[in-house]
């Protein structure tokens, strides 16, 4: 099934556009998750696995997807990546789509290896993720092995205008004719995704657009009519859920809001049980996004 | 010691500008490396480790650095990354600089986590690599945590004009005024690296420029006077070692040629012992580069 259709189905069924970022940070975890673990990378990996497992169970009803951030696991080396693989399996078992936030980008056999790492394991094991974030600075041929996985139901989210202020350095450089670099990227994304539009009208090739850039979200909607817009930067970075309004203007599953810290660490401000705090924050955000 | 100075010292001492890419691919490995291993990811990881260990020992005299390609290890999941960590430790023990070819790029705490993964382990363990390749489409603030590691001797190589034909899609888009996107990136690299120029005159912040683009190499030299240019695409992709001429015009360590397949799989055409074939190919390439 086409990834665009998979998202459309999940959004319709759950009445939710929520994708929860899994960004485990050792300094921020609930004490009970850390207690009794060995110091060092393997203990931290175990803590990340426990915490993300709790987050997944807490948001499974209100979210359609989770977005694990590879970097936090990668910081722990091999044991961290092994923990991430188990976290992703847990999320898929819980009925959530897994969007691996890896921002990978490379060419030829190297790109193939990255696709294998996250979207189609060679040894017949289930894929770790349903979709991946990619950086396409290296151009169209860097996407070929990833696009090939779209036929098996995988999804891609290409960075266009990112949520950070420094994103402007390259992305907002102005091309001859007044087009910005990220707009050129968006047009390329639209072109790359054209062959992968599902029955829903949504493509398996989506785009990352920072929710901190509401004007860019509206413009991205115009430039990439079939792309699902993945919108990080909600909450802690200052983006607001109402960017969904522009993103979903043409299709109710045309945008996924992707908060991380404001959901998974909600209990730090609210007090009480951490799982309950996460569940409540996810439910509130789902509802406020619906009301947009 | 500043990474630019570390490279300058190694190039001078070894009379070599050779950085050998470690791109293990299961279909191409010598049979003796694979024999007796379990099928599946852990067996493949063990084969990659054996093979890369052999490559490292074979090139240790003629090369100044190795460039392990993370993707091939990442394709095997956690066991692959653990194997890569051991491969990198082996290379450092053999007196080689380790340039981790990861092409990472992300922001804030996520970028910090990537820097921790490859350049400064939080638990006091030695860093996995001496340097890393990065994709700076996300702009200057995405580099901050990486630049912070330069003070401890780490190096960065930022993608500017890559070796693949599709690199033109974004990198050769023309900005108002006629400048190309990759040239803008190069100017940013020069600016980011300015505070990290060592006594040698080389900066810890270098650039990746495809050896398949000789004109771009010459232009890159002008735009980034202090940057070490890492030049992949030699050999199998069609790049020639004489691009070093332009790269080293202002400093003998101003460029590193980075062949992969043409060295590590040289024995497949030449026949004979695989280690000897790799050794000979590395020695020949070192000499032909010196003669440039």
pLDDT digits over B240-282, tens only?
888 999 999 999 999 999 999 999 999 999 999 999 999 999 9
Cα–Cα distance measured from residue B59 to residue B275, given in angstroms and rounded to the nearest whole number: 9
Residues 156-215 of A with CB under 8 A from B: 159, 162-171, 173-178, 181, 184-185, 188
Could you report the per-residue pLDDT of B151-187, keeping only the tens digit for each?
Answer: 999 999 999 999 999 999 999 999 998 999 999 999 9
- Structural fold of domain B3-290: TIM Barrel (3.20.20)
**Contact (CB, 8 A) for B234 and B261:** no
The three-point CA angle A45-A50-A56 to 5° equals: 120
Instruction: Assign A132 to helix, strand or coil.
Output: strand
Please tell me the distance in Å from B93's CA to the nearest CA on chain A. 19
Q: Phi then psi for B97, rounded to 5 degrees?
A: -75, 145
CATH annotation of A9-290: 3.20.20.70
Residue A57 has pLDDT above 90, yes or no: yes
Closest Cβ opposite residue B137 in set A74, A170, A177 = A170
Closest by Cα among B138, B140, B180 to A171: B138
CB contact under 8 A, B137 and A159: yes
Helix locations, chain B, DSSP H:
3-14, 31-34, 41-59, 70-74, 78-93, 108-118, 144-150, 168-171, 181-193, 214-223, 243-247, 261-264, 266-270, 274-290
Residue B289: which pLDDT band, with cuts at 50, 70 and 90? confident
CB contact under 8 A, B79 and A79: no
Say what the pLDDT of residue A125 is: 82
Say what the pLDDT of residue A39 is: 87
CB contact under 8 A, A128 and B77: yes
Residues 106-125 of A with CB under 8 A from B: 106-111, 113-114, 116-117, 121-123
Could you report the per-residue pLDDT of B68-91, keeping only the tens digit for each?
Answer: 999 999 999 999 999 999 999 999
Cα–Cα distance measured from residue A118 to residue A114, given in angstroms and rounded to the nearest whole number: 6
Cα–Cα distance measured from residue B120 to residue B116, given in angstroms and rounded to the nearest whole number: 5
Q: What are the chain A neighbours of B166 within 8 Å (beta carbons)?
A: 107, 138-142
Q: How far is CA B220 from CA A81, A145, A189, A229, B158, in A?
A: 36, 29, 28, 35, 12
Residue B19 forms beta bridges with which residues? Answer: B65
Residue B61 has pLDDT above 80, yes or no: yes
Cα–Cα distance measured from residue B229 to residue B227, given in angstroms and rounded to the nearest whole number: 6
A151–chain B Cβ distance below 8 A for any pair: no
Q: Is the dihedral of CA A97, A124, A145, B80 positive or negative?
A: positive
Residue A286: which pLDDT band, with cuts at 50, 70 and 90? very high
- B25, B86, B103, B275: the active-site residue: B103
Q: Phi then psi for A53, rounded to 5 degrees?
A: -60, -45
Cα–Cα distance measured from residue A72 to residue B146, given in angstroms and rounded to the nearest whole number: 15
A272–chain B Cβ distance below 8 A for any pair: no
Say what the pLDDT of residue A209 is: 98
Q: Quick one: what percent of chain A has pLDDT higher than 70?
A: 100
Cα–Cα distance measured from residue B79 to residue A267, given in angstroms and rounded to the nearest whole number: 34
- Model confidence pTM above 0.90: yes
Q: How far is CA A173 from CA A203, B188, B222, in A?
A: 27, 12, 21
Say what the pLDDT of residue B252 is: 97
Say what the pLDDT of residue A290 is: 81
Residue B95 has pLDDT above 80, yes or no: yes
Say what the pLDDT of residue B235 is: 85
Judge whether A67 counts as a catalytic residue. Answer: no
The domain limits of chain B are: 3-290
Closest by Cα among A239, A209, A237, A235 to A222: A209
Could you report the per-residue pLDDT of A109-123, keeping only the tens digit for each?
Answer: 999 999 999 999 777
Cα–Cα distance measured from residue B154 to residue B98, given in angstroms and rounded to the nearest whole number: 10
Residue A292 has pLDDT above 80, yes or no: no
Cα–Cα distance measured from residue B156 to residue B149, given in angstroms and rounded to the nearest whole number: 9
- What is the tally of helices (H) and strands (E) in chain B? 14, 8
**Contact (CB, 8 A) for A256 and A228:** yes
Q: How far is CA B18 from CA A239, B10, B67, B148, in A?
A: 46, 10, 10, 27
Say what the pLDDT of residue A241 is: 87
- Encoding tokens for residue B56? 């490292």
Other C-beta atoms closer than 10 Å to the C-beta of A145 total 21
Q: Which residue of A has its CA nearest to B171?
A: A137
Q: What are the chain B neighbours of A190 within 8 Å (beta carbons)?
A: none
Question: How far is the first Cα of chain B from the last one, in angstroms, to the nearest whole number?
Answer: 29
DSSP assignment of A71-100 equals HHHHTTTHHHHHHHHHHHHHHHHTT-EEEE
- A86, A103, A270, A275: the active-site residue: A103
Cα–Cα distance measured from residue A49 to residue A41, given in angstroms and rounded to the nearest whole number: 12
> What letter does residue A127 receive in the DSSP assignment?
P
Say what the pLDDT of residue B265 is: 98
Residue A255 forms beta bridges with which residues? Answer: A229
Query: What is the arithmetic mean of pLDDT over A236-259?
Result: 93
Other C-beta atoms closer than 10 Å to the C-beta of A86 total 16
Say what the pLDDT of residue B236 is: 80
CB contact under 8 A, B169 and A75: no
Cα–Cα distance measured from residue A248 to residue A232, given in angstroms and rounded to the nearest whole number: 15
């Amino acid at each position: 099934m086409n990834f665009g259709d998979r998202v459309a189905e999940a959004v319709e069924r759950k009445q939710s556009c929520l994708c929860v970022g899994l960004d485990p940070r050792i300094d921020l975890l609930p004490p009970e998750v850390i207690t009794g673990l060995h110091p060092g990378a393997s203990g931290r990996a175990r803590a990340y696995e426990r915490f993300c497992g709790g987050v997944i169970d807490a948001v499974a009803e209100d979210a359609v997807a989770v977005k694990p951030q590879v970097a936090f696991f990668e910081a722990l080396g091999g044991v961290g990546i092994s923990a991430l693989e188990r976290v992703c399996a847990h999320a898929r078992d819980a009925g959530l789509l897994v969007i691996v936030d890896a921002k990978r980008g490379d060419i030829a056999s190297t790109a193939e290896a990255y696709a294998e790492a996250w979207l189609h394991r060679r040894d017949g094991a289930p894929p770790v993720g349903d979709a991946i974030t990619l950086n396409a600075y290296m151009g169209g041929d860097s996407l070929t092995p990833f696009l090939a996985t779209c036929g098996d139901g995988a999804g891609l989210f290409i960075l266009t205008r990112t949520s950070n202020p420094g994103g402007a350095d390259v992305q907002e450089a102005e091309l001859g004719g007044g087009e910005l670099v990220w707009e050129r990227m968006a047009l390329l994304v639209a072109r790359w995704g054209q062959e992968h539009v599902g029955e829903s009208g949504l493509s398996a090739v989506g785009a990352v657009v920072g929710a901190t850039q509401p004007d860019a979200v509206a413009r991205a909607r115009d430039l990439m009519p079939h792309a699902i817009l993945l919108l990080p930067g909600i909450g802690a970075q200052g983006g607001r859920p109402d960017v969904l309004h522009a993103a979903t203007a043409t299709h109710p599953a045309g945008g996924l809001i992707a908060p991380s810290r404001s959901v998974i660490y909600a209990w730090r401000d609210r007090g009480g049980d951490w799982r309950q705090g996460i569940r409540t924050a996810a439910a509130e955000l789902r509802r406020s996004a619906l009301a947009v």
